[in-house]
Structure 1
């Protein structure tokens, strides 16, 4: 959560406009950053004294507090470090910060209402842009309480405040969504090839630009998918179904798309086998695992790159089409390669974070 989101939630709480989901998000934030709990506590203590601000000094006080809070919002320091480096008197530092939030809270009823948003449409353009490095994953909570877990190598964008009628996010990579139900404000996930529309459900979207396919896997609820290349075609997915859409791939000697039957298929809907939740390969990454069954070595290599933060280089192109099966869980990179090596005729050498693969 950024400082702007923190300010928004505090203002909504003080203005008594925060939803249950927003209050829960605020509590989660305090668990992760207990130092900010001091601001929350002191604000609550001062709430009963907001009427004691002298009217003659109100304008001057507001100006000073806005200046201070502007510095807080644009500082990368923790609250403690900020007040130390800016020489704010220790006795009053949390009171000043809390008072700043208090002023925002008093104006919160106007600042965060639909009228304010309509009069200030530029607020919709304030975006949070998230990039997840290889070797890691990241979990976020959206402004409406929706939770999303992002896989390695993903980029994700969402607004600090959703629009009045829709909730729109953009994804390049892989994300697992648990969308808060809201019939009046549908949730849209935009990718390069398709848009997923939901009201409230659980699903996984895999949309890496360098993968052969873009996939949407539905676990609960119902989703509607619109293809960017064919917007009139709406595909409805039911639980335990997966949609695969062919991604635009550059032509290579190893995979001539002109002669590929798969390239002629615009999309395909399949029903997943009935398995335990942890046995579904589409969501194995949530537990930092890679599960693959008769998949091309080239495709598995991309998953290995994301999981272990390495680069896989095929010195022999024929290895890319080798079909392999297996499960990689908590193994080291070397152990993972040895597991695959036991059933696939290849050898490898490592140079830093680059793994070179060749035929034996």
Structure 2
């Protein structure tokens, strides 16, 4: 918030022609206020009474007609003002001051406006980019083709945000949930996926990301090379540079790299779910998203049983549960959207 004296100082600078572009921006904001002309008149009054040196006030050069009119005002005696093509008439000093102030005020406003228009014209027009959001509810998957022809297989209960046109130097999207990516190769435009504070950067490859809220983030690579970073701090922290057959899991600031089977990574987009030595509870949590059901355990011990299994998740739920039951040796009952494991 500027004080009254600061505003007057800006007006003096404008009239004298000694101002910065930033100060002119402030003047343009000031003249939109209802009391702006009053302060402007006060500055001119101070000039007339000697409070502001006359030599410091120069005529603005933005409008030739107004400048000429102001010069005529300066040349007249305090008792009269001549107008072109009209007879002389006597005006009071008060009216002279009014006209003089009005002329300068008009030049002042016009000059600030013209500067704004000129400045606006010089500014490059920023292209407006529309963003799309694909949200998959539980039980539904989808395939998205991005503007560069890259393919995204978005999992159930997941969200993807992407532009309708990528920038000239990068291709950036954001993901919450899980997805498999087949990225069109372009060494000049890195493909960047934002998942919270973790950023995955590639040039052209295929890989899968798991990034659900309040769960570890994992990136598994089927082809190409992938760089995974933590960008939450002031400095970028490199978590891993992955090649085919590698996966990084990041949880509580700890990154762990492990081996994966590439065919299983790429098979996910075709609904192949592969689990190796995993708790039954972890497996059924995945099935809950894919089939939009709730799976409950009557005996908690069964939930912690570890098994290895491959499931084709485009099969009906009852067939999937039969495969699990045969592997982990349990009984189950499906009732609507709920599965009870005994």
TM range (shorter): 0.5 to 0.7
Question: Larger Rg: 1 or 2?
Answer: 2
Out of 142, 157, 160, the position equivalent to 2:161 is 157
Verify the 8 A CA contact 1:174 1:207 in the aligned structure 2: yes
Q: TM-score when scaled to structure 1?
A: 0.55
Distance 1:340 1:151, change over 3 A: same
Map 1:49-60 to 2 at 5 A. Answer: none
Verify the 8 A CA contact 1:288 1:307 in the aligned structure 2: no
Determine the structure 1 residue equivalent to 2:245: 240
Q: Deviations over 1:217-240 (max 9, x none)?
A: 112221211124565321211222
Unmatched runs of 5 consecutive residues or more in structure 1: 1-116, 247-262
Out of 178, 185, 206, the position equivalent to 2:182 is 178
What is the deviation of 1:196? 0.3
The reply to whether residue 268 of structure 1 matches residue 256 of structure 2 is yes
Distance 1:214 1:200, change over 3 A: same
What is the deviation of 1:191? 0.7
SS of the residue corresponding to residue 204 of structure 1 reads: strand
Structure 2 distance, partners of 1:323, 1:338, is 17
Structure 2 distance, partners of 1:219, 1:326, is 20
Structure 1 distance, partners of 2:245, 2:327, is 31
Structure 2 distance, partners of 1:240, 1:191, is 21
Structure 1 distance, partners of 2:303, 2:196, is 25
Verify the 8 A CA contact 2:132 2:162 in the aligned structure 1: yes
What is the deviation of 1:328? 1.9
Verify the 8 A CA contact 1:324 1:340 in the aligned structure 2: no
CA RMSD in angstroms, aligned pairs only: 2.4
Out of 257, 262, 268, the position equivalent to 1:285 is 268
Q: Deviations over 1:169-219 (max 9, x none)?
A: 011111111222223321110112511011222221121225x43211112
Structure 2 distance, partners of 1:339, 1:220, is 30
The reply to whether residue 128 of structure 1 matches residue 112 of structure 2 is no
Distance 1:119 1:319, change over 3 A: farther
Out of 169, 186, 199, the position equivalent to 2:203 is 199
Structure 2 distance, partners of 1:166, 1:331, is 39
Q: Deviations over 1:12-34 (max 9, x none)?
A: xxxxxxxxxxxxxxxxxxxxxxx
Structure 1 distance, partners of 2:217, 2:209, is 8
SS of the residue corresponding to residue 346 of structure 1 reads: coil
The reply to whether residue 213 of structure 1 matches residue 197 of structure 2 is no
Map 1:1-360 to 2 at 5 A. Answer: 119-121=125-127, 123-124=128-129, 126-209=130-213, 212-229=215-232, 231-234=235-238, 235-246=240-251, 266-273=254-261, 277=263, 280=264, 282-329=265-312, 331-358=315-342
Unmatched runs of 5 consecutive residues or more in structure 2: 1-122
Structure 2 distance, partners of 1:298, 1:349, is 16
Q: Which has the higher contact order (CA 8 A, sep 6+)?
A: 1
SS of the residue corresponding to residue 303 of structure 1 reads: helix
SS of the residue corresponding to residue 331 of structure 2 reads: strand
Equivalent pairs counted in the alignment come to 217
Verify the 8 A CA contact 2:207 2:222 in the aligned structure 1: yes
SS of the residue corresponding to residue 340 of structure 1 reads: helix
More helix by share: 1
Structure 2 distance, partners of 1:354, 1:311, is 5
Q: TM-score when scaled to structure 2?
A: 0.57
What is the deviation of 1:345? 4.5
Verify the 8 A CA contact 1:141 1:148 in the aligned structure 2: yes
